[in-house]
Structure 1
Amino acid sequence: MSSILIKNAEIITMNINEEIIAGDIYIVDDRIREIGQNLSHAADKVIDATGRTVIPGFIQTHIHLCQTLFRGQADDLELMDWLKQRIWPLEASHDEESIYYSAMLGIGELIQSGTTTVVDMETVHYTDFAFQAIAESGIRALAGKVMMDKGKEVPVRLRENTKESLQESVDLLEKWHRYDDGRIQYAFCPRFVVSCTKELLTNVRDLSATYKVCVHTHASENANEILLVEKEHGMRNVVYLDHIGLANERLILAHCVWLDEEEKRIIAERGVKVSHCPGSNLKLASGVAEVPSLLDHQAHVSLGADGAPCNNNLDMFNEMRLAAIIQKPVHGPTAMNARTVFRMATIGGARAVGMEKEIGSIEAGKKADLAILNLNDFHVYPSYDIDPISRIVYSATRADVESTIVNGKLLMDNRQLKTIDKAIILKESNFAIKRLMKKLENVAF
């Protein structure tokens, strides 16, 4: 049994009343045992959090760890060119080591910026090595191999046989799902409708129901993407996914920038979860998702950074600020206020992955997934009479995260990573991308 006692903190609970309290947090093993004032329990680790703010760990519901190595390699392109010219050839060049170090590079960045849970979509091959990185690092994740069994402008290396894609996914699920008492979970990850046959998607629908796991895919990110889907299927993305029975409470849709009213209604009525990725949508010139309208429809919306080559960081502070400010020119200054956005980054993310009873808020009995912030610096002062959530969303940065705890374990303590060797990961990441870049000219289509 291990224990941590956090003393004298400002605690942003995000419980049902969204209380902000002063006090202590007592953690035993992987759970929060008690929250109160002047707790005096003996503990293996005591953290003096005087002047610090403790928040629920951020939950990012759309990430590509396999793409972290590609940061800066695909700048200033729109989505389909970005995929065809750079990302798909780079993914086709991956090997076991490059996947591992790409995942570790991303996870290190995530831990440093207070993210404790990710929904991760890998590439076609070597996903087992990404799972190994997730397991070693201690981060919480829903992850799966990407599935692609259709497409004319896709590298040969990424073109899958439908049955083999399904079998490989099930094999990974049976190996990794519920690993470490559920810290790692599997999600089926068909890339998007353009890359997937109806046979693949309907099988994913059935497997998701059988295993009771999430499906994580892209939808309606780009206007041209929708034209491709309409040309082939005679209906828009979300309508098609609903038509084949995939639109349900286990479905997590990344982006949803270009939705019509029927699609918004389907998303809300079926309980589909939307992952809003403002940084990626802006950089790829995809557009601005109509998040206020989705919220008006009572849809579930959370946040994600997407991948490093389309953002170019995995920083939830950046995503929160963008999610808030990009809506205000159209919808007014009160649209997407700080508390709404912070809710999306924490308990909203927990709802997206079906874990709101376990993570997303600081409450006794829940998993101990927390971040400790030091908001004592020029860029977040003065602090007098300001809502601390507003300070975090509009002023704080990832450099303000001092410690990150997942499952009751310190993954970063006073800015020192505990499960990742930073020097090795940085060194090996440069070696890996250099190797992949040399392979690009030999990628077959």
Structure 2
Amino acid sequence: MTYAMFAVFIINLLLGVPLFVCMLLAAAVGFLFIDPGLFMNTLPQRFFGGMDVFSLMAIPLFILAGNLMNNSGMTPRLIRLANTLVGHFRGGLGHVNVVAGVFFAGVNGSAAADASALSTLLVPAMEKEGYSRKFAAGLTAGSSLIGPIIPPSIFMILYSSLTNTSVGDLFLAGVIPGFILAMAFLLMNAVHAHRHNLAPSGKRATLSELLAAVSGAATALVAPVIIVAGIVFGLVSPTESGALLALYVIVAGLAQRNLSLARLWAAFTETARLTACIYAIIASASVLNWLLSYTQVAAQFAELLHPFMHSPTLLLFVISGVIFLCGMFMEEVSVLMLLTPMIAPVALAAGIDPVHLGLIFTLNVTIALITPPMGACLFIVASISKLDIVEMFTGILPFIAVALVVLALLIIFPSLTLWLPSVFH
């Protein structure tokens, strides 16, 4: 049965069938094997039940807030602030790319949205400054990884809904790793700029210019405070935080006359489209998860991990390898939804902190976004940058290597992830 389900899934995936349909077709084959009568009763219940989770309501609200940010003119202001802070260094626009990624990370938590915004605004400018298009596109795709690590993070919300882990702790756990990843990319850019003798993108900003840039971006900079502080201090739930953030961006955008009704409508329609895609995958994965659990496939998979339970660090490396390989060929939400219920019980039984595991999961599926052959951010950046996809694949490899080194550091030194949440307990 398992082989038949896997074959149906892979064949349909290769044929270009939407991922949630691939999962439903694989589940349908499984139901036919065990009990055709369950098909009509259980599949609809599990499909809609998978979406009927209160904590998942935060996802469309954070997506909406990010789309509103992009449609209200806040994105160029964040890039201007980044340019004011680091543009005067050698290879300044590359540094601006990474720092802007950090700023965007505190707004929407979506790597795809960050990749789209950064590619549109910075890749052509970096090319004019002497960067090769391949390196500029690779750095942009790498910078987009920071988005789901620094809070808010859609992946962390999904993991929280599956494991009942505190969203506030997960958000705090992502802060230090996100900055470590940013510093690693800044170092890569500095080395590249030195080797190719790239000039700064501008002069050092004066105090008045810095204050003006901070003032212009102040509206966007308040967003992370609303998200993190409200959740960490127990003032609001993640869902309420997302609603407050979306309302704040709407009010600020209308007050500053940067958010027209047409842009507001565009943000709502894009949010509806993305939310429908994510929820369809969540619902389909819920059906498949129930079936794998019912047929003991999940337990058999967990048994494969038991030889590594004597060492939490080794187990995390093995888990990371499994997630990374799956993420290379599957959509990241589906990887998270399918693997978390199977892996989390084993990892927790081995003594791995659920917050640490959540961060490792999140970083793994995020790296998959820039990993060939199916990484979504690769295709977004290549398309916007008008770069051949093969060149994009070769250009991204150094950034994947650096991200994997950061992942290894976080596995070996759990305190990098767990120290900040412990401060607030």
Q: Point out the structure with the larger helix share.
A: 2
Please, what TM-score do these two structures have when normalized by structure 1?
Answer: 0.28
Bigger RCO (CA 8 Å, 6+ sep) = 2
Q: Point out the structure with the larger strand share.
A: 1
